[in-house]
Amino acid sequence: MAPVAYRVTSRTRETEDTVTIGIVPVTESIPTPAAGQFCMLYAPRVGEVPISVSGVEASQSRLLHTIRAVGAVTKALCALDVGDVVGVRGPYGTAWGVEAAAGGDLLLVAGGIGLAPLRPVVHEVLRRRRRFRRVTLLVGARSPDEMVFRGEIASWQASARMEVRTTVDYATAAWKGDVGVVTTLIERLTIDPEVTVAMVCGPEVMMRFAAAGVMAQGVAPQRVLASLERTMQCGIRRCGHCQLGGLFICSEGPVLPWSRVAPLLARREL
């Protein structure tokens, strides 16, 4: 399936290896993605990779994608300049379903670039803040330099409309947040398990610990949502690469309740 052309209208460097691009349709546009969904981004003549939507400005059909350069395609995407053409297919996959958490508490746990797919959730919550009770965001990164959206995180903290805690594995002298893995922050929270929905995104080991930490406080596994990552080339249940047991992570996921994925992740090399 061929991509449609979008044009890069903004480019923000987040960290040493991570860039956020803002893109708008050249002519044809894709349907508006929901928080948690991803697009297949095509770097012309290099290749196509799944990248979560890190922001949506539906009014302008403008999409934000935050990309960490780890290989050929992500490097090419990070190297795009304002004015360049990029291909887009999608949106694909399941969404976080922010609405399902309305009326209750929301706990967001992000590790590294895992904050990118959760950022549209924060935007949505802040737009309609009164629909939610307590909203907590825990962000972990390896070092302060590697934390994405630092300016925005600071503004969320300053606004006091939600509780935001940050932590790094390796602190610098200027660091004012916590030190240690993000899961230690969970232990220190008081959670109302009956009304809390937790959304976790980050490296798989981090998500295992985060889910365990949240469930240790009594949150049911169906109320813990995780965004899984697997190799995927098509995004539409056809290439076969993203299977985990009977799931195609591209379509039944990436966002899945922990109750569904825990038995599968418990099997090594499934």
Nearest approach, Cβ of residue 27 and other proteins (Å): 7
For the bound state, the minimum distance from the C-beta of residue 218 to ligand FAD, rounded and expressed in Å, comes to 29
Q: Between 74 and 167, whose beta carbon lies closer to ligand FAD?
A: 74
Which of 218/245 has CB closer to other proteins?
245
Q: Which is nearer to ligand FAD, 182 or 191 (CB)?
A: 182
**Hey, what long-range contacts does 119-124 have (CB within 8 A, 24 or more apart)?**
119/54, 119/55, 119/66, 119/149, 119/152, 120/34, 120/35, 120/36, 120/53, 120/54, 120/55, 120/56, 121/35, 121/36, 121/96, 121/199, 122/156, 122/162, 123/35, 123/55, 123/56, 124/35, 124/98
31-42 CB burial, b ≥16 within 10 A, e <16: eebbbbbbbbbb
**236 within 8 A of 251, measured Cβ to Cβ:** yes
Q: How far is the CB of 127 from ligand FAD (least distance, A)?
A: 21
Interface residues with other proteins (CB under 8 A)? Answer: 1-5, 26-27, 42, 44-48, 83, 85, 87, 203, 229-231, 233-234, 236-241, 243, 245-246, 248, 251, 267-270
Which of other proteins, ligand FAD, none interacts with 5 (beta carbon under 5 to 8 A by kind)? other proteins
> Of these partners, other proteins, ligand FAD, none, which one is at the site of residue 237 (CB under 5 to 8 Å by kind)?
other proteins
Instruction: Kindly give the pairing relationship between strand 255-257 and strand 4-15.
Output: unpaired
Are 144 and 116 spatial neighbours (Cβ–Cβ below 8 Å)? no
Q: Furthest-apart CA pair in the chain: how many Å?
A: 50
Query: Among ligand FAD, other proteins, none, what binds residue 240 when CB lies within 5 to 8 Å by partner kind?
Result: other proteins
Query: Nearest approach, Cβ of 242 to other proteins (angstroms)?
Result: 9
Q: Which is nearer to ligand FAD, 163 or 204 (CB)?
A: 204
Q: Which does 188 bind (CB under 5 to 8 A by kind): other proteins, ligand FAD, none?
A: none
